Structure 1
């Protein structure tokens, strides 16, 4: 099978290659194509990818290309992991809102909207090419903001699903704390992408989350970035991204006193790419852990294998709501456990959300609908409407100011704003 990675020059890619190398029987890749407009990065990442597969005795051929049509022709699976505008655009996403007193983050709030505006049109163009040249291919989106991008793909009729590594990260931590294999742990993980709560952790049919919150509060609260007492009161483990909502003002103060994540990642990527250039390196470097995306390889390989074989196992993915969360529109995209079949993922039942969770979820889902409309049709007024609907902005004057500034800062990536 041919597996294509759009954004293959990303420093993330060796993480994915590591997963492919370790799961040859599960996902029999014969050709790995890395596509990226940056030839320098492609050469470094592609070279390391080939050495990693060779070390593992994996027979897949590795090809690199800047030709998107060539990359997607006859593909079986296409993974999207692109970043329109690179770390420079991300730096603006993280600092421009901060100057207005709002959280500066690349996937949520004003920064997340800016990323969606840049990304959705590019992803839809790529998806159109995939559908024309490989109509049976599955598109797996890892490109943020995953929920908005996945809805854009589904609304356009593409064979797609979205993927995030938050759920698998919690599963792996819970399994380690319980001293059981990861596959023995089932999470009650639900919400929207980057707005999820783990409300149960089942082992052998028993919910052990209360025990984990009692016996390992620090180990759960630390990665969530929130106090253990809060998690106990909530009775759930919120995703790390919920700290931007639950502790907005504290996060803003922290961000004002630190370099942006974009600056940190840019420096890390320079070091990673330098290490990738070493012809003796044939394993993913330890420092790749600092890049983020832990367990991405396992999640991506599991999802691709299940979509191709229709084995019907349960995985957490981004897909249509279709009544799963009855307080949301059926066409909304949610992040929940789903049965993975050859026809696509089917959402599994989710216990009723209490008002505290349902209210925020509905609020952000409404924003995502407006954000997608702004990304597709453009216009400063539509951008302002999406910002006004977002709980991290939500003030008319602030929304108008941010809309003008975001559009001006991203004009090079927004054809309608030129």
Structure 2
């Protein structure tokens, strides 16, 4: 007796060789795959069988073409000596770097699904047409050496660089005070980067090493440079003084007792401070990318799935903040006014709510990919889009005893 349901969970599923008679006995076929390899014939069969397909990408390949599917976890470098013998579909979970002069290698790649960042030479941008990139794409000049995306130049750098070399930094270059500017100029090096941070005394000598489009963040001579995110507390004040240039985010500790001694704060990122303390800082010369008041309510962070109901909000007078959660559902009994008064949502992929709650949810959300309505009479669980479809599919599967399930990295139907 055929199984009533078939569920295939795979990173890569190849359906090109499937035979309809093998699968027509199943009541329901569900394919969950990052990449589904298909042919016109297999697409027709899957359509006739009513298969449910949840896939990042469906790639069409001729049935008689030999194609290898490869899964890479970690850094992947495509170099001149890495040409595969057969055509390849690559699923990369991590950073992918394409080196210059690898056009013949890239011709062997039928498709790439990249869950991470891609570094690609500018002259080879056309190859990104056969890629799905769930991350950032960086196009770099072929004649440059790639350094870290946020590169800190120390005093040894001018001694190690090659003369007349060009360097590419994707995000930001920080030049430490100990760097000998004269030696760097002598090497005749060039830099391509959107932003450079350096001491005011070095600007006149080093500005010519950068393109006119590069933003120069100047550190005044009378300020102490602090690299990266940090907290302003008594210990930092004792070490760095009252005039701080912070390249990153700065949080003012609620225990910090020297507010009256502060003179100047430059923060390239976000300054986070208790509201009452910020009001006491009117004498401070503040230049910040953004100012946020310190949240003192309940935090729900880094959760795959979270739920907010009326009882939770009523129990937390100072509010509830949900951050870095994949899916958040809001109970239908929560009034829109209560959402506006006591809820904050940041960096979440999907928020499910009723239609009546939607405008309030939009008002309190920041960096949320999708805000969707629950079905009328629902209990607050997501029901729309791909995630909703998958949820309903798996609800059906759980209710059926006769289910055949295949779990594999690669599966050939």
Report the TM-score when normalising by structure 1: 0.24
Report 1 or 2 for greater relative contact order, CA contacts < 8 Å, sequence distance ≥ 6.
1
Q: Which has the larger radius of gyration?
A: 2
More helix by share: 1
TM (norm. structure 2) is 0.24
Whichever structure has more strand as a proportion of its residues is 2
